[in-house]
Every structure is written in structure tokens, then in C-alpha cells.
């Protein structure tokens, strides 16, 4: 040290004696800084506009010079959005003690030439895009005290070279992609106070040598992949103030009682790990604790009472554990609580009354527990409250009358509770409410008009309640609310849609902050919901026409289904360019579907099922060929041929045309059909004829099981917390079922109740993912293909009411191991019913109407082929003996039969009445058989008439 001091003194003397030498160095620094500027490729804020050769560099932006020697001592260009690279000519600034380019967009490698800046004390290049590995030459910076390279793109092993910088006080390497492990050398610094290696790809155990950093005040090691637990030595760092080891996935074990030694600790974050056990009693010693974050672990037991006695506690986050028991009723009584998150546990009892005792509480999250009782009235007076999340509990009673009048309240989520009563009657005109979700409760009565006057409300979900009426004072012209999402479905609201003040925000891109698991970050403020605009008014009692005023908004999704709407579909709805989901099913709509789908159509799902629509299917729907996934127009009066223009829509998953008046063949489904994602095809109850051209359908990969489908529901995400669930009605196992959640692996093919003929194609056997197959009530002939036995996923098979012949293939019984519904009735099948596997569980109704089927469950027993006919009975040897008892019975039968049959022979009137009575009995007992006999009679009568006319013609 003495030698360095003498050399520095000598250098100063030389510069003082030789001004030309000093000027030469100043010129060199001037050129070096201009080189730094030239390496900057983009300067959007013109921060370097003052950097020019005509002025002294000591006057440039971001430059600090020594007051007397005019040498550069600090270069700070922070948060200026600079792009480019870092010039190696910085090495010529030999007096530089601080170099900071943080919060820019610089890239490339960190120049190794920086290692010559021996006077450097602070090097901060954080929040850029520097890549490559850490230059080992930087270990020469022996005087460095602050090194911050956080939030870049640096790779390689965690650099061991930094451990050769003995004077480090602050080391931040977090937010990169360093790998390897923390080595024992990281515990040898004498002065280190701040260490951050979080958010990398580090593994291995946490070294116990970290416990040697006795001056350490802040330690951040989270968001890595360590093994084992936290070394007990760390709990001896008595100076530690902030400790974060969250999101390490494999960190496990119990939290040790030694944690009570950290008496200076103000924040502890061990969230999202695998810690078990209870909260140690030694936590009671942490009197300085302000933030305690233990969420997303496997902790259990009760929340200890001593947490209420932490005098400085501001944030308590214990969500997503297995805590039980009641919430301590004194929680919050320290008067400083700002954030409380107890969500996703198994807590019971009531909410504490003192949570907002100091009027500082901003965020309250107790959702997904088993809490009961009313919402405390004290929350209605908590003016600091910003966010409430108490959904998915058993809360009851009415909502506090002043709750919606709180000046800062922006987000309220009370869904899935047992809240009852009516809405509070008033709210503030200057309310900041953005998000209001009280769905799935028992709120009844009137939907108040003040809801529509909230100036900032963007998300309103009151679905699944008992709301009945609209405020009579409602005036659509005075509404201030402009929604992003409006959801009122599944209530009992009545009236015309035109009375609702439906004003929506334009679809523009908003920003919001989300963290893992699609939850808003409780530590940040979500600005707004997102980019989607949607309205859900289904399952109410709205009537009248669909108002064309809806077309003034630009929707992502619109659902008006299952109301009492009538009239026609407004053409402007069909013409919406950004519309992706439209459901108008279950109403009384009439007329035709407007043929005005727009160019670049983005429609993904169209539901018109259950109306009275007629005419043809619009050809312009072909413009949706890049997006359409679900088309359901079943149960209408559409009269058209098969919509062949849909066959090249590769995105199509669900096509339902059932119960209309489609006619003709479907031969257009040829080798060019590209339905690789099709999972539900329902053409039932139409007038299709001809053969089903299954041989071309090798592209139906979803039904063949060759398309990789994830086990998820078919839905569209509206916001991070709201998804539109696709629901379709299918006929399955002889039942009409509403699939409220359509799995992407569910496949169904229903061609029933048409006039399709020919053999059942054996190619259907390639649809190995098929869950349900219904070909009933057609004219299929021939034998049941053995290939159907390859449908190993099949649970429902209906081939009834066709003209099938032959025996039931043994392969069918052997291969369909999951079959739970079978209907082969009313065909012409013969032989023995297989007695293996699932076939032994089916009743006679599965096989009735096949008069030559035998064995269980039929009453007829099969006669073995090797046995001949039964021998005739032996003749009676005593011909002369008379059995008078038998003879009297015979004579009585003949006499009675004569009395009954005589009038039938000689009286025409008697015969007509008798035959009519017999026909009625047969029709009631065997309707199918009666119809077949009657059709046969009519055909025979027609043929007889034709033959008679031919004979008469010949005679003439």
C-alpha cells in the first residue's frame, strides 16, 4: 500500500511538471469517449448529443471529471435506451472509478480490456443484453467494491473469478443464465454485504460456507434448482436483514427453529418450495419482520397466534399450503398490515375483524378456503383497500353496504360463495372499481343502475345468481361504464336487450401484470384487463329482437343463447371482422343466416343450435377457413345439400348439422378432405342418402388417434382468469347429453336417422380414438365388419334399425373392452351372441328384433349343430282305447271355435271390426313390426293392382 501511494504521488508530480504529458492523456480520454459514442448504434433520447469534438468531454452528459486534474472519474449513462456495444477503448479512462450503463439495451460481450481499469470501484452493467461468459480477466480489478451484471444474458458456469476480488461489498449476478453451482469459495469474502445469484440455472447443494459471510445483510439465491435444504449455518448470519430463497423447486425439509437467531431479519421469502412441517415457534423472536412470504409450500398446522404480535408486520403471505384451523382473530391489530394472502388453504371459521385496524390494508386474499360467516363490516370502512379476493369460500350474509363506496377499491372478487340479499343501493360516482366478480352466489332482486355509472368498470361478472329485474330508472344514455367483459348469464333477468346500456371499450392493447399460475401479482397494480371485449347474457329470460346497437362494439365473443329472443340475425353481427365466438342458440330466431361473413374472417366458434332458422347454409362461411373450429347449427330447418366448402377447413373440430333438412349424398368428402382435427361429426336426423365415403378419410387424424391431443378442454381464454367454455349437445348412449366441457380427446361420429346404404365401411376400424359411433336407423346392409373390433376406445356403439345380416363378429366382443352401451337391435343378425367380456353385461334390449339370435341374454337357446332333429314321438299301441277326458276338451274347443269363427266367415262387417281390433293390439305391442307388415301389405296391394292392370291390358 505504501509503494502504491508513493508511485501515485510521483505520477502526480510528473503531470504537474509536464503539462504536455497531462494534455496528451486528456486527448486520449477525449478520443476514447468518442469511440464509446461511435459504438452506440441507437440513441432514441439523444443523450449523447452533447458528445462532440468541439467541447470539453468533462461537460458531456454522464461524465464526471476530477475538479483539478480534469481526468474522467465516473461515466454514468443510465436508463437511456441506448443500443449497441461497449467499446474496449474504455480501458483508456485510467482514472475511472465508476462505470455504469445499467437499464439500456447494450449487447455483445463485456470487453476484457476493462480489466486494466485498476482504479475502478463500481461496475454496473445490469439490465442490458450482454451475452457470453464472464471475462476471467476481470479478476484483476482488486479494488472493485460493487459488481452488478444482473439481468443480462450471460452464460457459462457461475464465475469463480469474482471470488478473487477481495474488496467486494456488493455482488449481483442474478437474472442471467449461469449454470453450475455455488462453490465454497463464495464464502470467503470479508466485507460482502449483498449477494444475489437468483434467477439463474444453478444446481447442487447450497454451500454451508455461505454462513461465513458474517457481514452479509442481503442474500438472494432464489429461482434456481438446488438440491436438499438450506444449510443451518445460514441461520447464524445475525446481520441478515433480507433473505430470499423462493422458487427453487427442490428445496425441502422443515424450517428449522434456528431461524429465530436472525433477529435483524425484516423480510423472509421461502415461497414456492417443498418445505414441510409447521411454522416454528422461534418466529416469535423476529420482532423486526415486515414481510413474511411462505406461500406455495406444504406447510401445515394452524397459523400461530404469535404472528399477531409481530409489531412491524406489513405483508403476510401464507397462501397455497395446507394450513388448517381458524385465522387468528387478532391478525392485523398491530395497525400496519398492508397485504394479507391466506388463499388456497383449508382454513375454517370467520374472517378476523381487525385486518384493517390501522387503515393501511391494501390487498386481502383469502380465496379457496372453507371460511364461513359474513364479510366484516369493518372492511366497508377500510379506505386504503385496493383489492379484495375472497372467492371460493362459504361466506354468507349480505355484502357490507359501504363496500363499493371505498375510494381506492379497484378489484372485488367474491365469486363462489353463499352471499345473499340484494345489491347495496348506492356507490361513489368517482369509484375506481375496475373488476367486480360476484358470480355464483345467491344475490337476488334488482340489478341497480349505479353499476352502469361506474366510470372505470371494465370487468363485470354477476353470472349464476338470482337477479330478476333491471332498475326502472335505468337510462342507457346516462351510462358511463364502457366494459371489456360483461357476464350476466344464468340469472332470471327479463326484458328486452335494448334496455341494457351495453357500451363497450374498443379493442386496443392494454397492459397488465401477471405472474405464475395466471394470478395478478399482488405487489403490482394491474392497469387493465387485456385486449378482449365480450358479452355473455345467456340463460336468462330476455325477449324481443337482437338490437343492432350491439354492432357498435367490436366483440371478441358474444353469447345470447338460451333466452327468448326472436326475429332474425342482424347482418351486422355476421359481418364483425374480429368476432371469434358467437352463440345465439336456444332462442326462437327465424329467417336465414346472413350470407355476409367478412373477408379474413376470424370466427372460431358459431353456435345457432335450437332455433327456427331456414334456407341454405351461407357459402361465405368458407371465408372462415383458417380459423373455424366449432360449427353447431343443429335443430333448425336448414334446407341444403352437404356444405362441401367446409371440407378443407383443417382447423375444424366440431361439426353438428343434426335435425335439419339436409339432403343428397355426401360424396364430396373425398381424398382432398383435410379434417385432421375433427373430433365430433354429427349429421343425424337429416335426409342424406347414398354411401358414406369413409375410404377417403385417412386425414381424420384426431379420430384415428394419430394426432397428439392434450388432455384439456376445448375453450377460449378471454382474460387470464376467464375462459369461454365450449359446450355442445350430443346423443350418446341413447341419451341427449350436454357436454359442458368438451375434452380435446373426445371423438364421436353420429350418422343416425338418415337413408345411408351399402356396407358399413371396414375403414371405420381405423378410427381407434373413437368414443361413440352411431349408424342406427339407416339402410346399411351386409355383415358387421370385423374391423370394428379395433375401436379399442369405443364406449358407445349403435347399429340398430338397419339391414345387417350374419353373425356378430367375435372380434367385436373381444376388442371393445370399454364398451358400456351396445344396440344391435332390429337387424337380421343370426347365430350365437358372444359370451365374453363386455358382451355378457348387455341386456336383451341390445339384441331385440333379431329373430335368429340366440343364447344369453335372449330367451332362445342355440341348438348345437352336431345334434340332428329330434326323433318323432312313439306311436300309441292301444288304438282302441278312448281317452274321454281328452276327447271332451277337443270337442269343446271345436264347438267354441266354430261359434267364434262362423260370423268371421259369413259376416263382412264382423270381419272388418275384428281385423281393426287386432291391428290396434299389434301396433301397440310391436310398433316396428306393425309398420313393416303394413308397408309390406301396401307394396303387395300396389303390385297386385299393377299386375291386374297388365292382365286386363293383355285381354283387351
pLDDT, tens only, 239-256 = 999 999 999 988 999 998
Average pLDDT over residues 403-410: 91
Q: How far is CA 297 from CA 242, 272, 273, in A?
A: 20, 6, 5
pLDDT, tens only, 551-606 = 888 888 999 999 999 999 999 999 998 899 999 999 999 999 999 999 999 999 99
The Cα–Cα gap between 352 and 355 comes to 6
The Cα–Cα gap between 566 and 568 comes to 7
Average pLDDT over residues 942-949: 48
Same domain, 802 and 921: no
Residue 892 confidence (pLDDT): 44
Same domain, 644 and 740: yes
pLDDT at 730 over 90: no
Domain termination site, one of 796, 819, 854: 854
Residue 279 confidence (pLDDT): 95
User: What are the two backbone dihedrals, phi and then psi, of residue 615, each rounded to the nearest 5 degrees?
Assistant: 80, -160
Same domain, 786 and 920: no
pLDDT, tens only, 118-140 = 999 999 999 999 999 999 999 99
Residue 436 confidence (pLDDT): 94
Same domain, 815 and 911: no
Average pLDDT over residues 210-239: 93
pLDDT at 13 over 80: no
Residue 10 confidence (pLDDT): 47
Same domain, 793 and 916: no
Average pLDDT over residues 883-900: 42
Residue 408: exposed, middle, or buried by beta-carbon count in 10 A (0-12, 13-18, 19+)?
middle
pLDDT at 946 over 80: no
pLDDT at 924 over 50: no
Which distant-in-sequence residues (6+ apart) come within 8 Å of 868 by Cβ? none
Q: What is the pTM of this model?
A: 0.78
- Is residue 768 one of the residues assigned to a domain? yes
Rg of the chain over Cα atoms, rounded to whole angstroms, equals 41
pLDDT at 684 over 90: yes
Same domain, 925 and 832: no
Q: How many distinct structural domains can be found in the chain?
A: 2
- Is residue 620 one of the residues assigned to a domain? no
Domain termination site, one of 839, 854, 869: 854
Residue 4 confidence (pLDDT): 53
Same domain, 915 and 814: no
pLDDT, tens only, 355-390 = 999 999 999 999 999 999 999 999 999 999 999 999
Residue 498 confidence (pLDDT): 84
Report the share of the chain in percent with pLDDT over 90: 64
pLDDT, tens only, 39-52 = 999 999 999 999 98
The Cα–Cα gap between 495 and 563 comes to 10
Lowest mean pLDDT among 5-19, 134-148, 510-524, 735-749: 510-524
Specify the pairing of strand 63-65 against strand 72-76: antiparallel
- Is residue 798 one of the residues assigned to a domain? yes
356 neighbors 335 (Cβ within 8 angstroms):
no
Same domain, 641 and 708: yes
| Sheet containing 663-664: order of strands | 663-664, 687-690, 755-759, 779-783, 803-806, 828-832, 852-854
The Cα–Cα gap between 189 and 429 comes to 59
pLDDT, tens only, 300-324 = 999 999 999 999 999 999 999 999 9
Question: Domain of 705: which CATH number?
Answer: 3.80.10.10
pLDDT at 734 over 50: yes
Same domain, 642 and 704: yes
pLDDT, tens only, 155-175 = 999 999 999 999 999 999 999
Q: How far apart are the first and last CA of the chain?
A: 143
Lowest mean pLDDT among 94-103, 805-814, 892-901: 892-901
Residue 669 confidence (pLDDT): 81
Residue 526 confidence (pLDDT): 38
- Is residue 791 one of the residues assigned to a domain? yes
Same domain, 924 and 819: no
483 pLDDT tier (thresholds 50, 70, 90): confident
DSSP-based three-state secondary structure for 645: helix
pLDDT, tens only, 198-208 = 999 999 999 99
Average pLDDT over residues 465-469: 93
Domain termination site, one of 828, 854, 880: 854
Residue 2 confidence (pLDDT): 52
Mean residue pLDDT across the chain: 84
pLDDT, tens only, 748-776 = 999 999 999 999 999 899 999 999 999 99
Specify the pairing of strand 339-341 against strand 663-664: unpaired
- Is residue 801 one of the residues assigned to a domain? yes
pLDDT at 713 over 80: no
928 pLDDT tier (thresholds 50, 70, 90): very low
DSSP string for residues in 217-245:
-EEE--SS---S---GGGGG-TT--EEE-
Q: 745 or 509, which is more confident?
A: 745
Same domain, 847 and 923: no
Residue 144 confidence (pLDDT): 96
Residue 738 confidence (pLDDT): 80
- Selection from 615, 614, 616, 582 nearest residue 598 by Cα: 582
Range of the domain at 915: 904-934
- Is residue 556 one of the residues assigned to a domain? no
Average pLDDT over residues 644-660: 92
Same domain, 844 and 730: yes
732 pLDDT tier (thresholds 50, 70, 90): confident
- Is residue 428 one of the residues assigned to a domain? no
pLDDT at 953 over 60: no
Average pLDDT over residues 68-87: 92
- Is residue 893 one of the residues assigned to a domain? no
Amino acid at each position: 500500500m505504501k509503494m502504491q501511494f508513493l508511485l501515485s504521488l510521483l505520477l502526480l508530480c510528473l503531470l504537474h511538471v509536464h503539462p504536455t504529458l497531462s494534455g496528451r492523456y486528456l486527448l486520449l480520454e477525449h478520443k476514447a469517449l468518442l469511440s464509446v459514442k461511435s459504438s452506440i448504434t441507437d440513441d432514441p433520447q439523444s443523450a449523447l448529443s452533447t458528445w462532440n469534438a468541439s467541447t470539453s468531454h468533462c461537460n458531456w452528459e454522464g461524465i464526471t471529471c476530477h475538479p483539478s486534474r480534469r481526468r474522467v472519474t465516473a461515466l454514468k449513462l443510465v436508463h437511456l435506451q441506448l443500443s449497441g456495444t461497449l467499446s474496449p477503448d474504455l480501458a483508456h479512462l485510467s482514472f475511472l472509478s465508476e462505470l455504469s450503463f445499467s437499464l439500456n439495451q447494450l449487447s455483445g460481450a463485456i470487453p476484457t480490456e476493462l480489466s486494466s481499469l485498476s482504479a475502478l470501484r463500481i461496475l454496473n452493467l445490469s439490465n442490458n443484453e450482454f451475452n457470453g461468459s464472464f471475462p476471467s480477466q476481470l479478476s484483476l480489478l482488486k479494488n472493485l467494491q460493487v459488481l452488478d451484471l444482473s439481468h443480462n444474458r450471460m452464460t457459462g458456469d457461475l464465475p469463480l473469478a469474482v471470488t478473487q476480488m477481495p474488496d467486494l461489498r456488493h455482488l449481483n449476478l442474478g437474472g442471467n443464465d449461469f449454470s453450475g453451482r455455488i462453490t465454497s469459495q463464495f464464502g470467503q469474502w470479508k466485507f460482502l454485504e449483498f449477494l444475489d445469484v437468483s434467477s439463474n440455472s444453478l444446481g447442487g447443494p447450497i454451500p454451508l460456507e455461505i454462513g461465513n459471510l458474517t457481514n452479509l445483510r442481503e442474500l438472494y439465491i432464489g429461482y434456481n434448482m438446488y438440491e436438499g435444504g438450506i444449510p443451518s449455518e445460514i441461520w447464524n448470519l445475525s446481520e441478515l436483514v433480507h433473505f430470499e430463497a423462493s422458487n427453487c423447486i427442490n428445496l425441502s425439509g422443515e424450517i428449522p427453529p434456528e431461524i429465530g437467531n436472525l433477529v435483524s431479519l425484516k423480510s423472509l421469502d421461502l415461497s414456492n418450495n417443498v418445505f414441510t412441517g409447521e411454522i416454528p415457534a422461534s418466529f416469535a423472536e423476529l420482532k423486526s419482520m415486515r414481510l413474511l412470504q411462505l406461500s406455495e409450500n406444504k406447510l401445515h398446522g394452524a397459523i400461530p397466534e404469535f404472528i399477531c404480535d409481530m409489531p412491524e408486520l406489513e405483508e403476510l403471505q401464507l397462501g397455497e399450503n395446507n394450513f388448517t384451523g381458524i385465522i387468528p382473530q387478532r391478525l392485523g391489530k398491530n395497525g400496519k398490515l398492508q397485504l394479507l394472502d391466506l388463499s388456497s388453504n383449508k382454513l375454517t371459521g370467520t374472517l378476523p375483524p381487525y385486518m384493517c385496524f390501522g387503515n393501511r390494508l391494501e390487498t386481502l386474499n383469502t380465496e379457496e378456503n372453507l371460511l364461513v360467516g359474513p364479510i366484516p363490516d369493518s372492511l366497508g370502512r377500510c379506505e386504503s383497500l385496493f383489492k379484495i379476493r375472497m372467492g371460493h369460500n362459504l361466506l354468507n350474509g349480505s355484502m357490507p353496504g359501504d363496500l363499493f363506496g371505498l375510494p381506492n377499491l379497484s378489484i372485488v372478487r367474491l365469486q363462489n360463495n353463499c352471499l345473499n340479499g340484494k345489491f347495496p343501493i348506492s356507490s361513489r360516482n368517482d369509484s375506481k372499481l375496475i373488476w367486480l366478480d360476484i358470480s355464483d352466489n345467491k344475490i337476488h332482486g334488482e340489478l341497480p343502475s349505479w353499476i352502469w355509472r361506474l366510470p372505470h368498470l371494465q370487468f363485470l361478472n354477476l353470472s349464476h345468481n338470482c337477479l330478476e329485474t333491471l332498475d326502472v330508472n335505468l337510462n342507457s344514455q346516462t351510462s358511463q361504464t364502457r366494459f371489456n367483459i360483461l357476464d350476466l348469464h344464468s340469472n332470471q333477468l327479463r326484458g328486452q336487450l335494448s334496455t341494457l346500456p351495453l357500451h363497450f371499450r374498443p379493442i386496443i392493447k392494454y397492459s397488465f401484470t401477471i405472474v405464475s399460475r395466471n394470478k395478478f401479482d399482488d405487489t403490482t397494480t394491474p392497469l387493465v384487463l387485456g385486449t378482449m371485449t365480450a358479452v355473455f347474457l345467456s340463460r336468462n329470460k330476455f325477449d324481443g329482437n337482437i338490437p343492432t346497437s350491439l354492432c357498435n362494439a367490436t366483440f371478441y365473443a358474444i353469447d345470447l343463447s338460451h333466452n327468448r329472443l326472436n326475429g332474425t340475425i342482424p347482418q351486422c353481427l355476421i359481418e364483425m371482422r374480429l368476432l371469434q365466438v358467437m352463440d345465439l342458440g336456444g332462442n326462437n330466431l327465424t329467417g336465414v343466416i346472413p350470407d355476409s361473413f367478412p373477408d379474413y374472417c376470424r370466427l372460431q366458434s358459431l353456435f345457432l343450435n335450437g332455433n327456427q332458422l331456414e334456407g341454405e347454409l351461407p357459402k361465405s362461411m368458407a371465408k372462415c377457413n383458417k380459423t373455424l373450429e366449432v360449427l353447431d347449427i343443429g335443430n333448425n330447418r336448414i334446407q341444403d345439400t352437404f356444405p362441401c366448402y367446409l371440407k378443407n377447413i383443417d382447423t375444424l373440430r366440431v361439426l353438428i348439422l343434426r335435425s335439419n333438412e339436409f339432403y343428397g349424398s355426401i360424396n364430396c368428402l373425398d381424398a382432398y378432405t383435410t379434417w385432421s382435427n375433427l373430433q365430433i361429426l354429427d349429421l343425424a336426423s337429416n335426409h342424406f342418402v347414398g354411401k358414406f365415403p369413409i375410404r377417403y378419410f385417412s386425414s381424420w387424424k384426431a379420430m384415428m388417434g394419430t394426432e397428439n391431443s392434450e388432455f384439456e378442454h376445448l375453450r377460449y381464454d378471454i382474460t387470464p382468469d376467464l375462459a369461454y367454455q365450449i359446450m355442445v349437445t350430443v346423443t350418446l348412449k341413447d341419451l341427449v347429453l350436454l357436454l359442458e366441457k368438451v375434452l380435446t380427446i373426445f371423438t364421436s361420429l353420429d350418422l343416425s336417422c338418415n337413408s345411408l346404404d351399402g356396407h358399413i365401411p371396414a375403414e371405420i376400424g381405423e378410427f381407434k380414438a373413437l368414443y361413440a359411433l352411431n349408424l342406427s336407423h339407416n339402410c346399411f346392409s351386409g355383415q358387421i365388419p370385423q374391423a370394428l373390433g379395433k375401436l379399442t376406445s369405443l364406449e358407445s356403439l349403435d347399429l340398430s334399425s338397419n339391414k345387417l345380416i350374419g353373425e356378430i363378429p367375435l372380434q367385436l366382443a373381444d376388442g371393445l373392452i370399454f364398451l358400456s352401451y351396445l344396440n344391435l337391435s332390429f337387424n337380421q343378425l343370426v347365430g350365437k351372441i358372444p359370451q365374453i367380456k363386455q358382451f355378457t353385461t348387455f341386456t336383451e334390449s341390445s339384441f331385440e328384433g333379431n329373430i335368429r339370435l340366440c343364447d344369453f341374454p335372449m330367451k332362445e337357446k342355440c341348438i348345437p349343430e352336431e345334434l340332428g332333429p329330434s326323433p318323432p314321438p312313439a306311436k300309441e299301441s292301444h288304438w282302441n282305447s278312448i281317452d274321454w277326458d281328452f276327447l271332451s276338451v277337443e270337442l269343446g274347443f271345436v264347438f267354441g271355435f266354430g261359434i267364434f269363427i262362423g260370423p268371421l266367415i259369413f259376416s263382412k262387417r264382423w270381419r272388418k271390426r275384428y281385423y281393426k281390433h287386432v291391428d290396434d293390439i299389434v301396433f301397440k305391442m310391436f310398433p316396428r313390426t306393425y309398420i313393416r307388415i303394413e308397408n309390406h301389405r301396401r307394396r303387395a296391394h300396389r303390385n297386385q293392382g299393377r299386375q291386374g292392370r297388365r292382365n286386363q291390358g293383355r285381354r283387351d
